[in-house]
Amino acid sequence: MRNLLDSVLKPVRRASDAGSAQFAEWFMQSRHRFTITGLSRSGKSMLFTSLMTILKYRSEQQYQCLPLLRYLPMDLVENMWVEPLGDLPEFPVEEHMAALGKGKWPPATESVAGFQLTVRLRQTHGVKKYLLPFTDIVFEFIDYPGEWLTDLPMLDKTFTQWSDSAWAQQMNEPQNQFAKDWHEAVSGFDFEQPPTPDAINLLVSKYREYLLAAKAQGISMLQPGSFLIPGSGFDWQEYGFTPLPSRISSDLSSPWTQRFTHHFEVFQKNWLAALKQSTFRETDKQIILVDLFEGLNHSKSHLYQLRETLSNLAQTFVYGDTGWVQRHLLRQQKIAKVAFVATKSDLIPTAQKDNLLALLKDVTRGATAQLDKDDIQFEHFLVSAIQATDAGSNEQALRYVNSEGRYMEATFEPLPDSLKAMPADEHYPALPAGVPKDHLARILNGNGLDRLFQYLLED
């Protein structure tokens, strides 16, 4: 029987050898492209660092991390390797691990990076193991600044529409607390003067000061965020623009409106459209990281503007489930599954996690309503990329290492389980946990990643 089976399958194997790359891609690979999106300070850098480290130890050293990830059984792993992803810069995992070794958290993402991880699994089922002796599970991960993400909705607006919406956002809580100097600068600005480079740079500089101040205070919906980080590929000093008062932006004959409209369209065409095409295209799994602690640390109005931001972003991506032919032969992808992830869940006691999950669902309800409308699968998860805390002396307490290396204990008040339940004048300080000395072991014991990826990978 074995000889008969070999004789039948030999021509198939020769055919696969003749066009091995195409054959493998069509029939021996399961490819998953993950776009990990998240706003500034949502923990993308630490999550990527943990993810690469965990997968390396699971596949190479058979370390029992991700115990609930049934999709990659350790006993069937033949090999594993990491490669660059196209022309993208490689994710600096070694630099990030070195920073952790020095007691510093990885720096924030300021440019796009990516990697491709291939895990080769042995086949164990009957005929399939002779025809296809192994299966390659290919993971493609892309990391990019959250500031780029918040700019994408600008693609669908004219300059005047964007200008009016930006002014409206600045008038609301909590943005209006940080926009006073910017508003005073605009009030005293002479728009009768021509839009010379010096005059434009003065106005743009004042606007950037507002954006930077608001960002430092936890505001997430700031446009254009690409003006704030050096890794962006747009020259804001040459083609800068700002929102204009409606009396100016509504006057299409105004030289300022005409100049900023031109700069805005250059920004859309040369930066945003190209960014969306190259970075946010052809992805089938989307992970949206949400830092609830930033909002809890500031105010209820911060969480409301986070909900607004996520609702706006939910309309940015192309969702839907493509068929096998489109996915494998035509290489066409749409986002078929979405996971909303509250990061840094180790910063609250286990007794509080039900409330944190309920709050995540409430903050994302505008975005999930859009997904429901498009019939897209989604789920909510709590994840810690590193278990930086230990259980405290009671169920409402945690122990942690502070920035000076001292072992401390903190006791927590109950978290609100919804925006409605949060008092307007209350805030919940974030735990200032430092990097533990045993950070590698704590990365390998991070919580929630196995459930997250099992959900995204299973059919």
Q: What is the DSSP string of 393-447?
A: SSTTEEEEE-TTS-EEEEE-PPPPSSSTTS-TT---PPP-----TTHHHHHHT-B
pLDDT the model gives residue 399: 97
Answer yes or no: is pLDDT of 417 > 80: yes
| Cβ contacts of 142 within 8 Å, gap of 6 or more | 33, 34, 35, 36, 85, 88, 112, 113, 114, 279, 283
Q: What are phi and psi of 334, to 5 degrees?
A: -130, 155
User: Which range (91-105, 120-134, 284-298) has the least confidence?
Assistant: 120-134
Largest CA distance in the chain: 90
Average pLDDT over residues 349-358: 96
Domains of the chain, by residue range, sit at: 28-149+279-385+426-457, 154-278
For the record, the structure tokens of 184 come out as 């005073």
Q: Which of 10-14, 75-79, 88-92 has the highest mean pLDDT?
A: 88-92
Answer yes or no: is pLDDT of 161 > 50: yes
Answer yes or no: is pLDDT of 354 > 90: yes
pLDDT the model gives residue 22: 42
In Å, how far from its chain's centre is CA 223?
Answer: 17
pLDDT the model gives residue 265: 97
pLDDT the model gives residue 21: 45
Distance CA 325, CA 277 (A): 21
Best CA proximity match to 48, nearest among 390, 282, 341? 341
Tens of pLDDT, residue by residue over 137-155, are: 788 788 778 888 889 889 9
Tens of pLDDT, residue by residue over 232-280, are: 778 888 999 999 999 999 999 999 999 999 999 999 999 998 888 776 6
Model confidence at 439, pLDDT cuts 50, 70, 90, reads very high
pLDDT the model gives residue 335: 66
pLDDT the model gives residue 80: 76
For the record, the structure tokens of 399 come out as 């122990």
Answer yes or no: is pLDDT of 127 > 70: no
pLDDT the model gives residue 1: 40
Tens of pLDDT, residue by residue over 168-213, are: 999 988 899 999 999 999 999 999 999 999 999 999 999 999 999 9
Average pLDDT over residues 398-413: 93
Averaged pLDDT of the chain: 83
pLDDT the model gives residue 318: 54
Specify the CATH class of 28-149+279-385+426-457 in words: alpha beta
Amino acid at 233: G
SS3 of residue 5 by DSSP:
helix
Average pLDDT over residues 298-327: 71
Strands (E), 153-307: 285-290
Answer yes or no: is pLDDT of 128 > 60: no
Give, in degrees to the nearest 5, the angle at Cα 52 between 49 and 53.
80
